[in-house]
């Protein structure tokens, strides 16, 4: 009973730990899955943006080479509307989505000004950077008309080279982000830095966002799942998880776990309540039974002792001579009253053992002498069953720390058991062996083998091999259970072996006294 609450609590704890482990595993798997999806999205978009930019760089250089004559003529006549018209027409053939263009000399100075304000200082700075480093790393340029990015190509001249700059709307990149973005992920092109500058989103360039500051906020940065640099540009593709994506999944896991755990906890509580109720009812019944047995045993002992004593006096002729037939009946009554007294004593002993009220007079004893004395005390019983007992040992003294009277009681029960189930005219063997710091006392008879299905119940209370009303051997069925309880209370153990055509051996073991001192008395 004491272990059952621990079992229930342990089971609930293990179940809760298992649920927690499953939830954490699912949560980590979900985060990992979303991270992998994010990385795939970022890589895919970065590659698409890089392809678009590289393709436009290739086409701008191709246009510069194929239209070199016309562009050189424009450099000589920058104010010619006719030349501008020709170039714009041919640019539309190459780039239907281009925004504006310009042509700059070898020093980066434009040959003509953009009077509509479409060109700005950032465009001029990109031209200078391209002249000095040869790198064309696009970035988004703000403009009153349209946010755009620049692609440049070189045009060799006798004096050096001219720079052709073609600008494109940021919406060219917007479509790539919009087509790749999923509901739970937000894709952005950003300029990396301490606080990444937003360049393009799936809604358009950053000016399409309803915000004052185009730098990514701390909250946005905390939701970044992946970053991927776009080769050949100043940009990174950043993927942000929906702010509610992971918290919502965590809440879903918590709810699912509670929906599993609460019914389990309720079931465990109901089971515990029913078990506790059944246990209390059982304890109440056992207490009532024990009290009844104790009361009956005590009430029976005194009159039975008086009856047995009186019958003994009559049987021995103390009260006068009786007829042979009367003597036979009185002897039967004496034997049966003795059996009743033994039954009552067994009931009282079992009651004391179960309640822990049996006292043990523990001291050093010579077990050999105690066993020999127990055999002598049971000579009459052995003679009644037409058998004898042989003690086999090579020891004269085996010192143990035990209760002499209780060991004698154990031997009496084992010898009684052997005489009941052993054949007549076959000796009972009692052996005393010492091994590994233990002494074993074995009682062997050549009776029938104990059935296999009965062996696990052999030391239980009120258990007898023959429990029928017509059994030949009397007894309470408590003898072996009393033997087991007495020996285990003194730190020993009991057991048995039973083999067909050989016989049955019951034994008990006790630890030897480590000091090896002689007992004070035997």
Residue-wise pLDDT for 479-500, tens only, equals: 888 899 899 989 999 999 999 8
pLDDT value at position 401?
Answer: 92
How many C-alpha atoms does 118 have within 13 Å on its Cβ side? 20
Report residue 470's pLDDT band, with 50, 70 and 90 as the boundaries: very low
Digit-coded pLDDT (tens) for 30-40 = 999 999 999 99
How many C-alpha atoms does 48 have within 13 Å on its Cβ side? 17
Tokens standing for residue 473: 């051997």
Give 428's DSSP letter.
Answer: E
Beta-carbon contacts of 118 under 8 Å, excluding residues fewer than 6 positions away, are 99, 100, 143, 145, 146, 148, 167
pLDDT value at position 327?
Answer: 77
pLDDT: which is higher, 160 or 264? 264
Percent of the chain past pLDDT 70, that is, above it, reads: 87
Question: Among positive and negative, which fits the CA dihedral 447, 449, 451, 456?
Answer: positive
pLDDT value at position 408?
Answer: 92
Tokens standing for residue 52: 């678009």
At 471, is the secondary structure helix, strand, or coil?
coil
Beta-carbon contacts of 398 under 8 Å, excluding residues fewer than 6 positions away, are 366, 367, 368, 432, 434, 439, 512
How many whole angstroms separate alpha carbon 479 and alpha carbon 482?
5
How many whole angstroms separate alpha carbon 43 and alpha carbon 50?
10
pLDDT value at position 456?
Answer: 80
In sequence order, the β-bridge partners of residue 497 are 505
Residue 468 has pLDDT above 50, yes or no: no
Report residue 459's pLDDT band, with 50, 70 and 90 as the boundaries: confident
* Mean pLDDT value across residues 47-76: 93
How many whole angstroms separate alpha carbon 279 and alpha carbon 3?
13
The whole-chain average pLDDT of the chain stands at 86
pLDDT value at position 472?
Answer: 46
């Amino acid at each position: 009973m004491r272990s059952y609450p621990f079992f229930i609590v342990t089971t609930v704890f293990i179940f809760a730990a298992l649920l927690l482990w499953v939830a954490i595993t699912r949560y980590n798997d979900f985060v990992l899955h979303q991270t992998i999806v994010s990385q795939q999205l970022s890589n895919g978009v970065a590659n698409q943006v890089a392809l678009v930019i590289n393709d436009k760089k290739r086409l701008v250089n191709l246009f510069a080479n194929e239209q070199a004559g016309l562009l050189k003529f424009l450099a000589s006549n920058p104010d010619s509307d006719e030349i501008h018209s020709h170039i714009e027409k041919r640019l539309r053939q190459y780039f239907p989505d281009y925004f504006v263009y310009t042509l700059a000399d070898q020093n980066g100075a434009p040959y003509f000004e953009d009077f509509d304000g479409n060109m700005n200082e950032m465009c001029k700075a990109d031209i200078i950077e391209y002249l000095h480093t040869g790198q064309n790393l696009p970035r988004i340029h703000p403009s009153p008309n349209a946010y755009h990015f620049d692609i440049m190509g070189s045009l060799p001249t006798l004096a050096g080279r001219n720079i052709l700059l073609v600008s494109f709307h940021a919406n060219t990149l917007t479509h790539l982000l919009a087509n790749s973005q999923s509901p739970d992920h937000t894709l952005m092109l950003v300029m990396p830095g301490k606080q990444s500058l937003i360049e393009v989103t799936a809604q358009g360039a950053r000016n399409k966002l309803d915000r004052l500051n185009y730098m990514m906020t701390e909250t946005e940065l905390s939701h970044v799942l992946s970053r991927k640099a776009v080769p050949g540009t100043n940009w990174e593709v950043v993927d942000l998880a929906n702010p509610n994506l992971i918290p919502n999944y965590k809440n879903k896991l918590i709810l699912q776990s509670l929906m599993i755990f609460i019914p389990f906890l309720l079931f465990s509580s109901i089971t515990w309540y029913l078990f506790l109720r059944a246990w209390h009812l059982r304890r109440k019944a056992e207490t009532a039974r024990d009290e009844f047995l104790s009361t009956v045993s005590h009430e029976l002992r005194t009159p039975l002792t008086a009856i047995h004593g009186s019958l003994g006096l009559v049987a021995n002729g103390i009260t006068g001579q009786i007829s042979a037939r009367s003597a036979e009946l009185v002897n039967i009554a004496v034997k049966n009253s003795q059996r009743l007294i033994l039954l009552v004593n067994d009931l009282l002993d079992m009651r004391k053992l179960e309640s822990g009220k049996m006292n043990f007079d523990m001291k050093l004893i010579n077990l050999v002498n105690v066993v020999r004395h127990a055999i002598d005390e049971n000579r009459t019983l052995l003679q009644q069953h037409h058998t004898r007992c042989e003690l086999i040992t090579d020891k004269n003294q085996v010192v143990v720390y035990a209760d002499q009277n209780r060991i004698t009681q154990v031997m009496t029960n084992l010898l009684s058991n052997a005489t009941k189930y052993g054949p007549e005219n076959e000796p009972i063997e009692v052996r005393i062996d010492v091994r590994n710091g233990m002494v074993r006392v074995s009682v062997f008879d050549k009776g029938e083998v104990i059935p296999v299905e009965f062996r696990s119940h052999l030391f239980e209370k009120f258990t007898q091999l023959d429990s029928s009303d017509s059994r030949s051997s009397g007894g309470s069925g408590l003898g072996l259970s009393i033997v087991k309880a007495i020996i285990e209370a003194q730190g020993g153990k009991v057991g048995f072996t039973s083999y067909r055509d050989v016989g049955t051996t019951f034994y008990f073991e006790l630890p030897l006294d480590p000091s090896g001192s002689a007992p004070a008395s035997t």
